[in-house]
């Protein structure tokens, strides 16, 4: 084959692979095959420089750094959107539309409002010509070289593209990539949130740095379009796909405002499970004719509103930095805050992780700080807003609970209390043992555990089973009846399933999920305690580090002694059994396509919680397929095999 034809073919193969991987989330080439094609393309272009086209995937990376970003002035201004937060404000907006039109505005199109940075792409004749940031709306910065490094941005549109298209959207980064990239920036300036990282990375003077930042892009609107007729926002969303661009993930058409309200409530509840940060949703009147009728206010269209979520950050005073000793002896500094309500919960403590984090934040007692509550995680201090002039924090030299000198091992980020009998550690260990997802001993609360440990009545979890109602009745705030109830609860915990027992032990690196895997694989406590390292390593999810912590744990004389005493007290973990109840009991589920409402991991966990086994490829054993957006070959195979298929929505409603 001649060089020119081979070049064109390689360009097509590589760009197709980019599209499949980055836009559809359905890779077809293996990494090795992709790399091979890319290298061949590079070699070919080195031999025949005249073949290099601007659309060649080799042109995505490697552009030289510039001294400053050129400015770019657009013809159609990028607007902003009016905000609302309360549901009444949203209803007022709908009412205003009705008043203006003197009729119903018709269906809405709802898109999650991704927290990224605005980016406009200009395609002429289907070729990417310019990419520019929002700037002040009219004049932004030309970031074409930087944008080309984003693989979900096509260099050339697919299908039959319009003669001119200026498409607008957001460059963003997933939460996972945000964490990963920040981790590699340790020591350098790290970014406070995914939005800042996306904005900073897109405006890098050296596009090779942008290339390493794993940015993604989706389109939500357009400025100019010539040579295509589009009648509505949902049609636009569909057309994007045909041109190889990604539309807003999780977008939906809603027939009526009530439906929009339901989507809002649902998104608000699930925002922390989504793979990317969202700060609300954008509601647009779907029909473009109605949009034109509604027109614009000074800076924003009348036909759209950004319905934001209540803030998850607040400022408050940091009164004191205390240190707290965890179950494994790790010492964590904790910020004691002036109580402040954040999204419905009063926050009075926040984690500061470790000394390095305090150093990085430059935080001291007395400062005014910005505090964030994200999902179920413990609130954290984001940054100092105002210096209170206090003294710098110093990690104490000895354990605040037992007075033992703290140690900080080489390379460790945290200090530890090395005393395994440290009351704080024992207390945390017992609390964990009794917690709901472990041995589930109801009524054994924080205060009670503290008393038991302080009075020497419980030195480890095994002692719980030796407690008598008379002993308990002597404790503060313990009536006879509740003492009896607690004893009954402790009794009842003797025959919990093995995976809960393993979780309860609090072995380093063994959380709930791994406890289940171990219980399933080894069946009994004895089998696990005696398992040689090779056998553990043969389990896919167990790496050398985990195997080591398990072995070390069961080799400890105090642990052996405790297990003896637990057994003597009649604690007999029950063999692991797959959950049988649940709406998906007995089903073997495979996920395919792009899920828009939750991450793959969250979806899998959900399916398992409903009783299903999750598979990765479609086989004869598969009984159910959940198809996200743009599901392809797997969906076809499922249809061929006559397997039941659910949409993401249907799956979520189970």
Stretch that binds ligand IVH, among 56-64, 73-81, 156-164, 523-531 (CB under 6 A): 73-81
Selected binder of ligand IVH within 17, 44, 114, 165 (CB under 6 A): 114
Selected binder of ligand IVH within 11, 79, 318, 584 (CB under 6 A): 79
Per CB under 6 A, does 113 bind ligand IVH?
A: yes
Beta carbon nearer to ligand IVH, 81 or 384: 81
Given the residues 113, 156, 364, 634, the one annotated as active site: 113
Task: Provide, rounded to whole angstroms, the least separation between the CB of residue 49 and ligand IVH.
Answer: 39
Per CB under 6 A, does 111 bind ligand IVH?
A: yes
How crowded is residue 385: how many other Cβ atoms within 10 Å of its Cβ? Answer: 13
113 is known as an active-site residue: yes
Per CB under 6 A, does 304 bind ligand IVH?
A: yes
Q: Residue 329 contacts by C-beta under 8 Å, 6 or more apart in sequence?
A: 416, 417, 418, 419, 420, 422, 425
Per CB under 6 A, does 248 bind ligand IVH?
A: yes
Q: Residue 262 contacts by C-beta under 8 Å, 6 or more apart in sequence?
A: none
**Comparing C-alpha atoms, which of 171, 167, 165 is closest to residue 152?**
171
Q: How many residues does the chain have?
A: 654
Cα gap 638→626, rounded to integer Å: 10
Per CB under 6 A, does 363 bind ligand IVH?
A: no
| Angle, helices 3-18/31-47, rounded to nearest 10 degrees | 140
Selected binder of ligand IVH within 81, 209, 475, 613 (CB under 6 A): 81
For the chain, percent helix, then strand, then coil, each to nearest 5? Answer: 40, 20, 40
Task: Provide, rounded to whole angstroms, the least separation between the CB of residue 100 and ligand IVH.
Answer: 17
Beta carbon nearer to ligand IVH, 274 or 531: 274
Alpha-carbon torsion 313, 319, 321, 326, what sign? negative
**Angle in degrees, CA 483, 486, 489, rounded to 5:** 155
| Angle, helices 498-505/512-522, rounded to nearest 10 degrees | 130
Q: Residue 129 contacts by C-beta under 8 Å, 6 or more apart in sequence?
A: 122, 123, 144
Residue 75 buriedness (CB in 10 A; 0-12 / 13-18 / 19+): exposed
Per CB under 6 A, does 221 bind ligand IVH?
A: yes
Beta carbon nearer to ligand IVH, 81 or 569: 81
Task: Provide, rounded to whole angstroms, the least separation between the CB of residue 113 and ligand IVH.
Answer: 4
Per CB under 6 A, does 220 bind ligand IVH?
A: yes
Task: Provide, rounded to whole angstroms, the least separation between the CB of residue 377 and ligand IVH.
Answer: 24
Beta carbon nearer to ligand IVH, 81 or 539: 81
Cα gap 517→390, rounded to integer Å: 49
* Residues in region 148-177 near ligand IVH by CB under 6 A: 170
Per CB under 6 A, does 107 bind ligand IVH?
A: no
Q: Which helix (H) or strand (E) holds 18?
A: helix 3-18
Per CB under 6 A, does 286 bind ligand IVH?
A: no
Per CB under 6 A, does 252 bind ligand IVH?
A: no
Stretch that binds ligand IVH, among 77-85, 156-164, 326-334, 594-602 (CB under 6 A): 77-85
The answer to whether 627 and 635 have CB atoms below 8 angstroms apart is: yes
Q: What is the DSSP letter of 132?
A: E
Per CB under 6 A, does 306 bind ligand IVH?
A: yes
Residues designated catalytic: 113
Q: By CB under 6 A, name the binding residues for ligand IVH.
A: 79-81, 111, 113-114, 118, 170, 220-221, 248, 282, 301, 304, 306
């Amino acid at each position: 084959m001649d060089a020119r034809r081979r070049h064109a073919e390689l360009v097509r193969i590589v760009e197709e692979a980019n599209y499949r991987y980055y836009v559809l989330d359905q890779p077809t080439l293996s990494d090795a095959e992709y790399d091979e094609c890319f290298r061949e393309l590079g070699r070919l272009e080195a031999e025949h420089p005249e073949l290099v086209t601007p659309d060649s995937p080799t042109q995505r990376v490697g552009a030289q750094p510039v001294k400053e970003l050129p400015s770019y002035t657009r013809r159609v201004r990028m607007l902003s959107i009016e905000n609302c937060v309360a549901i009444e404000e949203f209803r007022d907006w709908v009412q205003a539309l009705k008043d203006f039109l003197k009729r119903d505005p018709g269906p809405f199109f709802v898109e999650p409002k991704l927290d990224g940075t605005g980016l406009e792409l200009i395609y002429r004749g289907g070729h990417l010509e310019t990419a520019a940031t929002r700037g002040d709306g009219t004049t932004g910065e030309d970031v074409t070289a930087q944008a080309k490094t984003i693989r979900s941005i096509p260099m050339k549109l697919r299908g039959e593209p319009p003669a001119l298209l200026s498409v607008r959207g957001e460059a963003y980064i997933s939460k996972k990539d945000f964490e990963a990239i920040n981790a590699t920036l340790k020591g350098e300036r790290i970014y406070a949130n995914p939005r800042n990282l996306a904005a900073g990375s897109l405006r890098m003077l050296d596009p090779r740095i942008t290339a390493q930042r794993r940015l993604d892009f989706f389109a939500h609107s357009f400025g100019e379009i010539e040579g295509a007729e589009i009648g509505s926002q949902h049609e636009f969303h569909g057309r994007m796909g045909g041109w190889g661009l990604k539309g807003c993930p999780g977008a939906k058409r809603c027939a009526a405002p009530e439906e929009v309200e339901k989507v809002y409530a649902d998104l608000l509840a699930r925002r922390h499970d989504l793979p990317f940060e969202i700060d609300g949703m954008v509601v647009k009147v779907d029909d473009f004719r109605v949009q034109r009728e509604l027109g614009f206010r000074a800076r924003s269209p009348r036909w759209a509103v950004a319905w934001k979520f209540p803030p998850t950050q607040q400022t408050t005073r940091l009164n004191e930095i205390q240190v707290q000793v965890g179950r494994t002896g790790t010492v964590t500094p904790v910020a004691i805050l002036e109580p402040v309500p954040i999204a419905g919960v009063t926050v009075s403590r926040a984690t500061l992780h470790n000394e390095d984090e305090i150093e990085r934040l430059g935080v001291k007692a007395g400062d005014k700080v910005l505090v964030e509550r994200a999902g179920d995680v413990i609130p954290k201090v984001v940054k100092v807003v105002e210096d209170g002039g206090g003294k710098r924090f110093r990690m104490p030299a000895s354990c605040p609970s037992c007075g033992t000198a703290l140690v900080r091992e080489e390379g460790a980020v945290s200090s530890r209390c090395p005393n395994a009998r440290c009351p704080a550690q024992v207390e945390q260990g017992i609390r964990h043992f009794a917690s709901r997802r472990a041995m589930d001993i109801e009524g054994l609360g924080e205060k009670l555990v503290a008393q038991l440990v302080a009075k020497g009545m419980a030195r480890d979890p095994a002692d719980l089973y030796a407690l008598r109602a008379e002993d308990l009745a002597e404790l503060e705030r313990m009536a006879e009846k509740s003492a009896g109830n607690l004893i009954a609860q402790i009794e009842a915990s003797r025959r919990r399933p093995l995976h809960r027992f393993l979780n309860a032990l609090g072995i380093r690196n063994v959380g709930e999920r791994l406890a289940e895997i171990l219980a399933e694989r080894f069946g009994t406590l004895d089998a696990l305690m005696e398992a040689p390292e090779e056998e553990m390593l043969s389990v896919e999810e167990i790496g050398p580090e985990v195997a080591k912590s398990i072995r070390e744990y069961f080799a400890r004389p105090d642990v052996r002694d405790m297990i003896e005493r637990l057994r003597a007290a009649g604690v007999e973990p029950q063999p692991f059994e797959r959950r049988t109840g649940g709406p998906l009991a007995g089903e073997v589920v495979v996920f395919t396509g792009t899920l828009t409402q939750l991450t793959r991991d969250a979806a899998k966990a959900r399916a398992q919680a409903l009783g299903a086994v999750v598979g990765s490829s479609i086989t004869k054993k598969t009984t159910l397929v959940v198809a996200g957006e743009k599901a392809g070959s797997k969906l076809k195979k499922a249809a061929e095999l006559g397997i039941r298929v659910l949409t993401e929505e249907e799956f979520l409603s189970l």
